Structure 1
């Protein structure tokens, strides 16, 4: 096979030979086989590609041929899980019309000259990891190219002006990259262009007036760039435009009146810019509009009555502007309207009845000055329309009156937010009919009466907020039936009675706030079983007795239990009344001296040891034994490493193997990637001056191979490692097969019974720990760098888990940064070299990973799985975003990073946790979700943590929603 591939490469490098080949030798077979040789196919999707076949047109997966010429016309390998770089084999497919390699993990820059493929019509390289800039002359000879997509890669630099040479282009999609600079002027000469998407880049400057020459343009998206200036008048000349998305830029001024000519426009999205002035009345003439989004701008004045003419409109969003006046009655004609968002303006007047007559699915009116009763609008609405409503948010207005019982008729409602108004009376019992309700927020009103027991019927409820009202009575026992409840807030009310034990059934509960009420009685011990609990505030009540004994309650914040004079225990610094056990009755007729001694001893004692004291003594004993054991292991390691370092003399040629010997001077060297010349590497590889660092599994040194290539060599600590050469080689060869751009590659190994070395690629940029914690103030990482490090490390870890390899030792010092700023996960899978995964031995090996280790390491009954790595990765996320170590030792305190961030999140101050060395130069809409993801990954329960593939998807969604 190797010789055959050599022949293929020789043929491609010798065009004279290619011309002399027999026509029966199919160039398409050769090209595809060479293409396959240059990439990795971990899922075996290309197994049907056989170099012995005469033609690829029969059963080669992803290949389609022209039935007349029997030559390859289409190559579509979307989502095949391929990685590696594009080789020159593709250039042999001379009759290729469509090349689609989307949704893979291909890397490198685009250096191939696709101009050689003169018949190419469609090129789709989207959703890969290509990087670098596009050569300036890349499009100078683009032949018959009609569609090109480079979306969602890592391309950077300017968009080449040569793009304007592709006169046949109809669709261009460069979205989701890091292109910067101005829009290429030559682009506006492409009269056949129908679709243009440059969204989610870093483009700047103004939109050229030349856009008006694109007479065939149907869709344009320049979303999420840094474009400035006004929308050019020429936009109105693109009469065929159906979709316009200019959102999330720095555009300003008013909208040009020429846009009223765009009668075919379905979607007009101008969100999050600096547009100002009154909303143009002519928008009502765009009768084809289905989506109109003018939110987060500086529009003022009234909502135009002309909006009532938009009878095709499905989504209207004018939120976060400065609109005034009342909602126009003319909008009752918008019969197809589904989503209506006018929140956070300065609208006044009553809520018109048409809001509930139209059968809307989403109604968001929050943050205005609307007043009056909502009951009138409900009463005039059509009964058969109520079941369509999914979201109703009327919070932060001046609404008053009762909460109408008719609210229960909205059986499909998922979110109901009526907070921060002046509603009074009790919560209607019919609220229990909203079986789909996920969020209920009635906080900050003047509600009174008891919480209805029907609340227990809301099985889908995730969040319930009733704080800052005047509610009384008891907490209903039925609340324990709300099985999906995650957050519950009843703070600042007049609620009395006990905390019901039924709360213990809420196994998903994370946040509970009962502070500032009149609760009485003891706290149910069953609440200790709430394993997901993160915050439990019962301060300023009349509770009594001792807190439940459990993992959360043992570390509860003292401020969460303050203001309860009758509570006792260590947390409130108040001892509980001692309850002595019944006296021990011994046989009075016994003559056993031991019995007499015990009797006398108990007679003299005034206080017996409590169970907690006995547990503390046992724990102290266990710690002492552990310290002694670790000390003994360290002494053994030092004794082993104190022996003279062996000078390894690698000879050139093939991989070789010597019989195992006990002298340690000869052994077996195996290289996984080629057979480099080691003849000049005769110096001692384990020179102290070349040491890069030390870890739980040994020291790492840098050395130069005979071919001039630097490698990192880890000298493994012999203690506790497998003694069998066969076992050692089997496990190391598994690790040698792991290949990923975000993993440090294992190049080979060296074995003797007394010395084992692992040979890794050398990564020049140092480790993440040093970048975060040991660099000077001027060398800190930007947010872009940090996000890429988090995402890259996640991808590397996800790849390990796909290959059933657990890292076990994830921490910032095991994340290396290469010369391009890309992260590479190191030291993965070394626990495989232990004879068995004994938790004590393993924890002694990775004791430097304090703060990263999942809690199940301490529990013998819980299986160690990939979720341990997810926990460590969650800590790593928080470390990268905050710039703080996982555990910080202060003068009189120990700060655990995850607890600190979780507390800040509960207090609404999580943004303050971001590393202040970035000086506020970070997007909060990315940093805060990333920190929340880190907290989710550090859940105490392994099953509640996402897997790494899900983490990668979430991070990519955060970057490109």
Structure 2
């Protein structure tokens, strides 16, 4: 048992020091600082012992690490603990630091919410709590806005509305960042009173409603304005020119409308403008031409009209220009050539006409997108600068003519080339084989002719090759087998002849193969059946013969993928087929004249003469024919069985999904491509995570699939992959992408972070954070004798953290994210035994979410399943997670499983603890492997478990209430209230 409470020890010690030193004011003040910091430290978890120098025996904290004091008064003026990996709550100890000016706790794992009565010292001028796990509301009293100059609460999980009077006294505020939270409602109009404001960031929240920009234009000291990724609306009136020092305006991802301010060009210091993904209309203001300091201008996905004027050439500092998906018309201005620093230009999805300006391809551009316009003329030849810089070139869906310049083959960094849907009438330059970095080549429907160059894949990096809808002739080159990186090969609607090369069986990464509407002949190489990753094939309307390869994909092909080949053997096709089996022996040496071939011009007399010869077959021939007949019957029978269970595969949809996402030109998710939500993340260059799913890296298996450990390089954190079960999982890629991205936004220190996914029609993988300490299940029930048992502090930490994680899922999202399967195997532990909930929200990925599916899906969670999950008449909500959490409390405290089977009886842990509580002997059920534990914490926690596992859902508390109860249980003895 704990013999003494830490806070009492601190308090007694400081009182003793106080009487030893006397009662002068300075000593009292110094004791206040020490007391406040020690109490603050007591609420923290410091895994790396950064705060070891904070000693309660010291009278003066000014020598402690990360503490600065005022040299005149000796009082603590600054506490800076950024990026130390600290966790816990921001406690009341800070209220003691009455001379504190700087408090910086960013990039840690602080959690919890602000109490309505919590107030930081009124002297604070700089407060930085960014990049933590704080949640809940903020009040207008927790910080003194009249003295604060710098306030950063970004990248937390704070929610609710900002009080309208929050900015009543903000005249000293210079910097405000609330970005990356879940604030909602309107932006308080009182923000216009913050006349000293230099930077305002409210991005990536859920703010909505009308924004009065007339008030914002009053902030004439503003330099940075970021309202992006909310649901805000309103118009941008003139008057912005009053903000002379404005450098950045980011308004993308909202519902703003109307035209852009005509005086915006008078903000001469503007460096970055992003108006994309709104509803802005009208022409661009001519005054924009005065912004010769502007380097980034993005206004894509709006309703902008008119022509792009010559004044754009005056923006000589412009590096990034994106105006795609608007309604611009006219020619691309020749003056754009004067923007010598341009590296990215995207004008796709408009109505631009005329030719590409001469000289534009002479700039050192990295990306050019002129797709989906009405451009004419030829493709310009690039300069030596362009050859060294260009990575992406998209000129698709225009009316360009002429040959494909051979110089394109000299673009050493080119990765993406799309010239499709033009009228080029050109051969494919053999120089394309020199493109060492090329991964996507799309030349569909360009009226190309001639052969496919044999060395088109010499680089070995090509992943997508699409040559459909042309007039290509000749055979598919045998060298196609060198395209070792291909996962989409599409050669349909051409005039290709000859056989399918056997070398194609070397394309081990190939997922989609389109060869329809050609003149290919001969038999399909049986080796193609060895392509394990192949998902979709279309070989219709050729002259192919013989049997299909025996692999699953070929045997399950849809009729539409086979028809038009009268020589193919398949029960789906009508008419004769040519079998590639040995012919039976014929006794008559002239019997070959009697075989019926494709030319049926034999005369009637010849037929009669043949019949009259009474040809006989040998016994061996009869046996051979009979065997062949039996084999054919067997093949037909097997094929008919396969047809009865075949899932219809829509090839065109699969190919389009694969292509659109590989080119990153649309919002649809890719087929067979790894998507990481954090652009700075990577898997050490691994693009095909399927290769990592081996038995050696398997670390667990659960309801939704198998988990694998993916080690990273020395400078990257280890990740995990969950290979999802395919039954009942969403099969439409856009639906899967939408649901996974919703889960990816659920960020909290006590949730396993979802970092990305990998999708194909037959395989779905989630990429997640890796927890090095395994699961709670392994700590409780699979512990080796040499491993010490969990201590009570760690058990309480796990309970408390899990409760906070669940509360975040239930109360920070609308609709709430319900886990449905809370149990120790889904509670993972980091290196400091901080709990992280895994598999949360994965029920969203089920195609049918109802009681029947859920009860069957979670049979393995015996003892954890709430009664309503198995009862059709009860409505399922987040209270089922509360039930599972209650059972987990019992398991953590007792160390026993929720259901245990003996020789003569079955022990239900819930009922067992309830009986002991009623008898007053509940401590008898506490895990005997724990040597020390506080009775006054264990008993109320067990009572909490009884309430959580009530059979009636409405009788259970919410997870927010559970968190509050656990906070009360852990409160130091003098302040603890009776909970139950």
- Whether the TM-score (by the shorter chain) exceeds 0.5 is yes
Cα gap change, 1:81 to 1:303, in 2 (>3 Å): same
- Quote the Cα distance in structure 2 between the aligned partners of 1:223 and 1:335: 29
Residue 90 of structure 1, aligned match among 79, 87, 94: 94
Are positions 1:339 and 2:344 aligned together?
yes
Contact 2:545 2:577 in 1 (8 A): no
Aligned to 2:325: 320
- Quote the Cα distance in structure 2 between the aligned partners of 1:807 and 1:448: 64
Deviations 1:162-183 (A, max 9, x none): 2242322111111122322322
Are positions 1:154 and 2:157 aligned together?
yes
Aligned to 1:473: 474
Are positions 1:462 and 2:441 aligned together?
no
Q: What TM-score, normalized by structure 2, do the two folds share?
A: 0.59
- Quote the Cα distance in structure 2 between the aligned partners of 1:827 and 1:533: 37
Contact 2:464 2:486 in 1 (8 A): yes
Cα gap change, 1:415 to 1:772, in 2 (>3 Å): closer
Cα gap change, 1:266 to 1:800, in 2 (>3 Å): closer
Contact 1:408 1:430 in 2 (8 A): yes
SS in 1 for 2:457: helix
Aligned to 1:394: 395
Are positions 1:421 and 2:422 aligned together?
yes
Deviation, 1:405, is 1.1
Aligned to 2:923: none
Contact 2:500 2:525 in 1 (8 A): yes
Deviations 1:805-840 (A, max 9, x none): 3989xxxxxx999753344474555599xxxxxxxx
Deviation, 1:251, is 2.1
Residue 148 of structure 2, aligned match among 140, 145, 150: 145
Aligned to 1:851: none
- Quote the Cα distance in structure 2 between the aligned partners of 1:7 and 1:366: 68
- Quote the Cα distance in structure 2 between the aligned partners of 1:81 and 1:92: 24
Contact 1:800 1:806 in 2 (8 A): no
Contact 1:485 1:506 in 2 (8 A): yes
- Quote the Cα distance in structure 2 between the aligned partners of 1:538 and 1:317: 40
SS in 2 for 1:473: strand
Deviations 1:699-732 (A, max 9, x none): xxxxxxxxxxxxxxxxxxxxxxxxxxxxxxxx9x
Cα gap change, 1:255 to 1:579, in 2 (>3 Å): closer
User: What does 1:534-553 align with in structure 2 at a 5 Å threshold?
Assistant: 534-550=535-551, 552-553=553-554
SS in 2 for 1:213: coil
User: What does 1:770-785 align with in structure 2 at a 5 Å threshold?
Assistant: none
Instruction: Select between 545-554 and 117-126 the one with higher mean Cα deviation.
Output: 545-554
Are positions 1:440 and 2:441 aligned together?
yes
User: What does 1:177-326 align with in structure 2 at a 5 Å threshold?
Assistant: 177-203=181-207, 204-326=209-331
Deviation, 1:190, is 1.5
Deviation, 1:69, is 6.8
Deviation, 1:117, is 2.3
Aligned to 2:384: 383
Cα gap change, 1:435 to 1:49, in 2 (>3 Å): same
Deviation, 1:403, is 1.1
SS in 1 for 2:387: helix
Contact 1:413 1:434 in 2 (8 A): yes
Deviations 1:863-914 (A, max 9, x none): xxxxxx99x899755327x7599999xxxxxxxxxxxxxxxxxxxxxxxxxx
Cα gap change, 1:321 to 1:789, in 2 (>3 Å): closer
SS in 2 for 1:229: strand
- Quote the Cα distance in structure 1 between the aligned partners of 2:269 and 2:826: 63
Deviation, 1:354, is 2.0
Contact 1:8 1:34 in 2 (8 A): no
SS in 1 for 2:475: coil
Residue 167 of structure 2, aligned match among 130, 146, 163: 163
- Quote the Cα distance in structure 1 between the aligned partners of 2:525 and 2:62: 72
Cα gap change, 1:83 to 1:487, in 2 (>3 Å): farther
Deviation, 1:800, is 7.2
Contact 2:470 2:494 in 1 (8 A): yes
SS in 2 for 1:186: helix
Contact 1:388 1:412 in 2 (8 A): yes
Contact 1:440 1:464 in 2 (8 A): yes
- Quote the Cα distance in structure 2 between the aligned partners of 1:321 and 1:604: 69
Contact 1:49 1:56 in 2 (8 A): no
- Quote the Cα distance in structure 1 between the aligned partners of 2:550 and 2:851: 29
User: What does 1:589-738 align with in structure 2 at a 5 Å threshold?
Assistant: none
Cα gap change, 1:246 to 1:453, in 2 (>3 Å): same
SS in 1 for 2:388: helix
Aligned to 1:106: 110
Are positions 1:356 and 2:361 aligned together?
yes
- Quote the Cα distance in structure 1 between the aligned partners of 2:770 and 2:183: 31
SS in 2 for 1:148: strand
Cα gap change, 1:788 to 1:316, in 2 (>3 Å): closer
Cα gap change, 1:483 to 1:828, in 2 (>3 Å): farther
Cα gap change, 1:237 to 1:475, in 2 (>3 Å): same
Cα gap change, 1:772 to 1:495, in 2 (>3 Å): closer
User: What does 1:779-798 align with in structure 2 at a 5 Å threshold?
Assistant: 794-795=752-753
5+ residue gaps, structure 2, are 22-26, 585-622, 642-699, 701-727, 731-737, 755-766, 779-804, 828-836, 855-980
Report the count of equivalent residues. 659
Deviations 1:205-238 (A, max 9, x none): 1233122321211110111223333213232211
Higher relative contact order (CA 8 A, sep 6+): 2
Aligned to 1:491: 492
- Quote the Cα distance in structure 1 between the aligned partners of 2:774 and 2:170: 46
Deviations 1:81-115 (A, max 9, x none): 54443322333444444333334443332227675
- Quote the Cα distance in structure 2 between the aligned partners of 1:385 and 1:211: 42
Cα gap change, 1:58 to 1:490, in 2 (>3 Å): farther
Q: How much is the aligned-residue C-alpha RMSD, in angstroms?
A: 4.6
- Quote the Cα distance in structure 1 between the aligned partners of 2:467 and 2:850: 36
Deviation, 1:10, is 8.0
SS in 2 for 1:301: strand
Deviation, 1:335, is 1.3
Cα gap change, 1:873 to 1:543, in 2 (>3 Å): farther
User: What does 1:496-535 align with in structure 2 at a 5 Å threshold?
Assistant: 496-535=497-536
Deviation, 1:422, is 0.9
- Quote the Cα distance in structure 2 between the aligned partners of 1:45 and 1:613: 73
Residue 131 of structure 1, aligned match among 125, 131, 135: 135
- Quote the Cα distance in structure 2 between the aligned partners of 1:536 and 1:162: 62
Q: What TM-score, normalized by structure 1, do the two folds share?
A: 0.60
- Quote the Cα distance in structure 2 between the aligned partners of 1:479 and 1:419: 21
- Quote the Cα distance in structure 2 between the aligned partners of 1:134 and 1:552: 57
Aligned to 2:7: 7
Deviations 1:264-305 (A, max 9, x none): 111122112222222221110122111122222222221111
- Quote the Cα distance in structure 1 between the aligned partners of 2:742 and 2:18: 49
- Quote the Cα distance in structure 1 between the aligned partners of 2:185 and 2:79: 33
Contact 1:231 1:255 in 2 (8 A): yes
SS in 2 for 1:106: strand
- Quote the Cα distance in structure 1 between the aligned partners of 2:384 and 2:69: 59
- Quote the Cα distance in structure 2 between the aligned partners of 1:875 and 1:346: 43
Cα gap change, 1:537 to 1:128, in 2 (>3 Å): farther
